[in-house]
Amino acid sequence: MKTLFTLILIFAFFVFSYNLFGWSNTKLLNSYLLANPYNDKDIVMISDIYGGNVNHFYSSTIDLVTGKCTNTEMNLDYNFDLKLTIINSDKKYVAYCGSGVIHIYNYQNMQKISEISTTLDFSNPNLKLEFSKDGSQIYSLNKEELRFIKYDVLSGTKADELIINANPVIYSGAYLNSEKDEFALSINDSLEVWSIPNKKIDRIIPFVNDAVKVKFRNNGDNISLVISDKIIVLNSQTGNEIFNHTIPFEIYYYEFSANMNFMICRDEYSVQYIYDYNADTVISFTNIPGKFIDSIRMLYITSDYSRGLGSENFVFYCNRVGEIPMLEPVYFVYDLQNNFRKASLSNGYIENPRIAAINKTNDLIAVSNGENGMTVLVNGNGDFIKYINYKKVPVSFSNDSKYLFIRDSNKVQFYNLATDKIERTLTINQSYLQQVYHISKTTDKLIINSFNKVDVYDYENFNLNFTIDFQIQGGVLIFLGCNDDGKIFLTADYKLYVYDAFTGNFTIEDLNNIPSGSKIHGFSSDKRYLLLSIGRDSLLVYDTKLQKIKFSYKIPNIYQYTESLGFGFLGNHEIIWVSYINNPMDKQNVFYAYDLIELSSSNLPGEGYPIVSNDGTKYMTFYCPDTYIFNSIRTPVSVGENEFTKNTMLISPNPASDYIEISQNNESSLISSEVQIFNMLGIEVLNVETGLDLSSQRIDVSGLPAGVYYLKIGDRVEKFVKM
């Protein structure tokens, strides 16, 4: 019997009953702009998050008109050294090129189309590779070999080959123009344009031999090129010059909008130049202080200059032992007219998320990294909705989820989620607000908690109804929260203060049978149970209705140098979360939950303090540097109040120091020949043989070390704390 109970207890301790459904954002690192189809809707970026020799990729399709990014994750069944990627937006094809193979996929659903084995050297900078306009073929051209090859996409075979009978030394460049089914070779001061179907020179046009960064554009009708600090655009049919502009630095990157109305170019470092092609004017330099795009490396802008695709560098560092700070780019779609982020290629990227607000129906979550940072709005499935264009801290939602209440020092800002504008502002009488509750009953009220007061306002006209001052005779009130009925709960000196937000009336209830030295930390989601602590490692759950300690728990592995200890209810009163750092040197975070009913524990994702939903069924956690997670909490499984009163075995005093006494709530006798006491590992540490009525007997526990123990009589088990 002892062995069986020990096994059950050990098993229960390591099995936790959460039904987790987690989501988090995923940043795209090492991303590359793969396609500019000149329609602002089908820009595609491919990313691998580990560098070369990988099999895990992300594909992002960006619609700059709407600002929507569609991210698709792909796991290949092989590893290879990725060297080159190309796409075709008509067929939605992407080709991964490396290790002598071209792997072709549909970039929207990541279904494999085919693969082509080849001897091409994808790392050769002179190799040009493109899909044909209709996506049925892949063209390759190498000026060193003067060899043009055509591959059939669906069959994965070589379809045709053309070896140009010429001296390769005299050609300085080779360029593909798949839009017109042709390629071009530069020689001296001319450009030979070859027809792919006819396999011969179609025309010769004037060309500057030392041109670099050459690309066919505008459906193949134009050629853009760079000569030193000049960007030049030619007519691809005649070679006539259309555009010639001098840039005040050596050009490292440049790109035109779809209709070639706007141009972006920059040097190798930070200077960036945005030019209005038609007006022949500079829109902005990003090295001018105060400009919105100072820190952005812009990659592409729309034809009307309303949207842009660019990247910002973020430092990924979490202050852990041996960690090296990493500077990585994160890609965003920007609203250039209103100067804010519209979307990210990482499903709502936020650096160091640590604050969240969850609406009452758990289908909207605002996640923020604090003052002057970013806030993202996602739904209950983790799907990105949009960025909030306001750099302050979100605290809660209105009941109808129309507004997001945002903290701005001593102001509550009403941010309209439909219009993306601050619609109303309430200035409170306190210096700094903490929480905002919207309560609906006969009327609507705003309950606002600051550091030392609670204010109750009318929701419609902002009239102040009354204020609760935390400074009272004999102590300082601690704000515990409020419920949907408008009851405001505070505590001081083992008393519970309950205010009615609609009438202003209040009651004071004594909290009896609370062990001396206890500190009150918070309420359960149903506002019935209090969480208490004694010292640094003992937690107690107190039932305010029955005026008794219902559960107790001793936090394991609390060391001398432990810091940042935090704990609280995870929704209902049966689950406690605990967070602490083992020591200030390695900064290793311990974050877990303990189930007081199932006697089981589980490490929780994230670090720090969880944020629990209003109904106590969901919670948010965060993990440095950029992850936020939304999980579910199991529903309460403890017995009801009547059953608890009839059948629960009571141990007193609890916590105990020298002895314990055992009774039953209905005051019936407890008759047993054996009392067993087990420690947290399920090991029996005390056995008392007795045939007496246990309600009249004291059991000596003075010899037990401090900790949490389980007392077993027959088939009943109850927990107590030894101080």
pLDDT of residue 207: 93
CA distance 709 to 412: 48
Minimal CA–CA distance to 120: which of 169, 78, 173, 158? 158
pLDDT 10s digits, 422-455: 999 999 887 788 899 999 988 999 999 988 889 9
Best mean pLDDT range from 9-18, 290-299, 316-325, 472-481? 316-325
pLDDT 10s digits, 375-390: 999 998 888 899 998 8
pLDDT 10s digits, 288-320: 444 445 578 888 889 888 898 988 888 888 877
Q: What is the C-alpha end-to-end distance of the chain, expressed in Å?
A: 28
Q: Range with the lowest mean pLDDT among 480-484, 498-502, 586-590, 608-612?
A: 586-590
pLDDT of residue 9: 33
CA distance 417 to 559: 46
Position 260 confidence tier, pLDDT thresholds 50, 70, 90: confident
- The H or E element containing residue 3 is helix 2-14
Average pLDDT taken over every residue of the chain? 83
pLDDT of residue 665: 54
Question: What one-character-per-residue DSSP string does 107-152 give?
Answer: TTT--EEEEEE----TT-TTEEEEE-TTSSEEEEEETTTTEEEEEE
The pair of structure tokens assigned to 485 is: 């009925």
CA distance 438 to 247: 56
Q: In angstroms, how far is CA 496 from the centroid of its own chain?
A: 38
CA atoms within 13 A on the CB side of 53: 0
pLDDT of residue 670: 54
- The H or E element containing residue 4 is helix 2-14
Angle (CA) 266 267 270, round 5°: 85
The structure's pTM equals: 0.78
pLDDT of residue 25: 61
Mean pLDDT of 308-336: 85
Residue 368 confidence (pLDDT) above 90: yes
Q: Range with the lowest mean pLDDT among 132-141, 465-474, 646-655?
A: 646-655
Residue 8 confidence (pLDDT) above 50: no
- The H or E element containing residue 445 is strand 444-450
Q: Is 680 left (phi over 0), alpha (psi -120 to 50) or beta?
A: alpha
CA distance 233 to 224: 4
The pair of structure tokens assigned to 593 is: 């939950």
- The H or E element containing residue 11 is helix 2-14
For residue 344, CA distances in Å to 260, 306, 376, 448 come to 25, 16, 10, 33
Best mean pLDDT range from 7-16, 210-219, 312-321? 210-219
Minimal CA–CA distance to 178: which of 146, 141, 153? 141
pLDDT of residue 168: 58
Residue 34 confidence (pLDDT) above 50: yes
pLDDT of residue 667: 44
**Tokens 């965003």, residue located:** 332
Mean pLDDT of 689-706: 74
Q: In angstroms, how far is CA 194 from the centroid of its own chain?
A: 51
Position 486 confidence tier, pLDDT thresholds 50, 70, 90: very high
Are 670 and 663 in contact, with CB atoms under 8 Å apart?
A: yes
Position 48 confidence tier, pLDDT thresholds 50, 70, 90: low
Position 156 confidence tier, pLDDT thresholds 50, 70, 90: very high
The pair of structure tokens assigned to 1 is: 């019997």
For the chain, percent of residues with pLDDT exceeding 70: 85
pLDDT of residue 459: 96
Position 167 confidence tier, pLDDT thresholds 50, 70, 90: low
Are 252 and 271 in contact, with CB atoms under 8 Å apart?
A: no
Question: What residues contact residue 325 under an 8 Å CB cut-off, 6+ apart?
Answer: 315, 316, 317
* Beta-strand runs (E) in 99-257: 101-106, 112-117, 127-131, 137-142, 147-152, 157-163, 171-177, 182-187, 190-195, 200-206, 212-217, 222-227, 230-235, 241-246, 253-256
Residue 644 confidence (pLDDT) above 80: no
Higher-pLDDT residue of 625 and 102 is: 102
Q: Range with the lowest mean pLDDT among 218-232, 465-479, 507-521?
A: 465-479
Higher-pLDDT residue of 261 and 22 is: 261
pLDDT of residue 512: 92
Residue 17 confidence (pLDDT) above 50: no
3-state secondary structure of 168: helix
pLDDT of residue 326: 83
pLDDT of residue 201: 95
* Beta-strand runs (E) in 247-392: 253-256, 262-266, 272-276, 281-285, 297-301, 307-316, 326-335, 340-344, 355-358, 364-368, 375-379, 384-387
Burial pattern 672-700, b for ≥16 Cβ within 10 A else e, equals beebbbbbbebeebbebeeeeebeeeebe
